[in-house]
Amino acid sequence: MHSSSAGTSCSPSAGSTTCRPARSSPSSRLITVGPGAGQPRPVCRARLAAVNAVQYPRLVVTGAAGQLGRALIAAAPAAGAGEVLALGRADLDITDPAAAAALLRRGDVVINCAAYTAVDRAETEAAAAFAVNGTGPAVLATACAEIGADLIHVSTDYVFDGTGTAPYEPSDPTGPTSVYGRSKLAGEQAVLALAPAAVVVRTAWVYTGDQRDFVATMRRLEGERDTVTVVDDQIGSPTYAPDLAAGLLELAARLPGRAHPIPPILHATNGGSASWYELARAVFTELGADPGRVRPCTSDEYPSPVRRPAYSVLSPRAWSAAGLTPLRDWRAAVHAAVLAARPGARAGHDG
């Protein structure tokens, strides 16, 4: 479920707050550090600590000002990335073919985090959603294929219809029920058609815990409300953005040369599954608060323009089979996120 920089829609009612996950407001623009040598446009170019710079290609992160993009930039040094080109929307609009071709170079590994992620708003802004989520990945895939760069494209559990009862495998039939899901599926299909060596990585329910995502909102509401009411009939895979970032960086390091084949579609989430209600209770527990203050409700009690998948747990089997490190269990990740978000916590603490 998509709840990152936008977080959770909440309707305060009589001392309690009813919540469901939602997406809305845009994240802030990445600070432009300055033009890189030979670059035709201003870019935020960070040369980060090179632990393993010889083997690691240049990493290019698009959508770098978003929730996942920021986590990737933060995690890159520890992963051994030698040079990182962090491209916010102002640096590279991924729907601009000329700009993409001008910024990328042979041997790059591009991780595309740019997306239109306002799930509800997409229902009335289909053209905008398809431009960023369908055309944008097609533009990047074309540029990567022509230039000789590797591409990791991040996608979503929303490509599934949510009627499943067992974790979705990458090869399971898709059937998005929302404009957002259809636009993301269009992006996946374009990427794999235009850049056959690209890897699509689907994830779900991403949070950092310190912005306006679901976990951050629960942290805030714990201090503001006696009770919060949260939907209990949507089951998914909560995913801590730094954990996902570490996984994507491990995958990125594997792509050049590819000693072992990597499947075209992988799923990467924290382990296990939860409802939004269970995730909220876990946050309260980690805060030392009474989880009984979180009350369950059904999706029907919280009208939405979008029918969200009732069940969208993503199977990690293909990820593990590819030799990639499984992401830890979602409860351990929530523990780390709440700890890291505490005032005074060092960045990355216990992450």
Provide the binding-site residues for ligand NAP, judged by CB under 6 A: 1-5, 26-27, 62-63, 65-69, 89, 92-95, 113-117, 132, 136, 154, 156-157, 184, 203-206
Nearest distance from residue 68's CB to ligand NAP, in Å?
Answer: 4
CB 326 within 8 A of CB 320: yes
**Which residue, 129 or 221, is less far from ligand NAP as judged by CB?**
129
* Active-site residue (options: 116, 158, 168, 180): 180
Identify the DSSP state of 2: -
Nearest distance from residue 131's CB to ligand NAP, in Å?
Answer: 7
Nearest distance from residue 152's CB to ligand NAP, in Å?
Answer: 11
**Which residue, 142 or 227, is less far from ligand NAP as judged by CB?**
142
Task: Return the beta strands (E) in the chain as ranges.
Answer: 8-13, 16-21, 44-47, 59-62, 83-87, 109-112, 150-156, 199-203, 206-207, 227-231, 235-236, 239-240, 265-267, 274-275, 294-297
* Residue 258 CB-density burial (10 A; 0-12 exposed, 13-18 middle, 19+ buried): exposed
CB 329 within 8 A of CB 243: no
Active site residue 180: yes
Nearest distance from residue 204's CB to ligand NAP, in Å?
Answer: 5
Contacts of 259 (CB under 8 A, 6+ apart): none
Residue type, 236: G
**Which residue, 66 or 82, is less far from ligand NAP as judged by CB?**
66
CB 110 within 8 A of CB 146: no
**Which residue, 82 or 242, is less far from ligand NAP as judged by CB?**
242
283, two tokens: 């946050």
Nearest distance from residue 226's CB to ligand NAP, in Å?
Answer: 27
**Which residue, 86 or 336, is less far from ligand NAP as judged by CB?**
86
CB 155 within 8 A of CB 184: yes
**Which residue, 21 or 82, is less far from ligand NAP as judged by CB?**
21
Nearest distance from residue 344's CB to ligand NAP, in Å?
Answer: 25
344's torsion region: left (phi>0), alpha (psi -120 to 50) or beta?
left
185, two tokens: 């599926």
Positions marked catalytic: 180
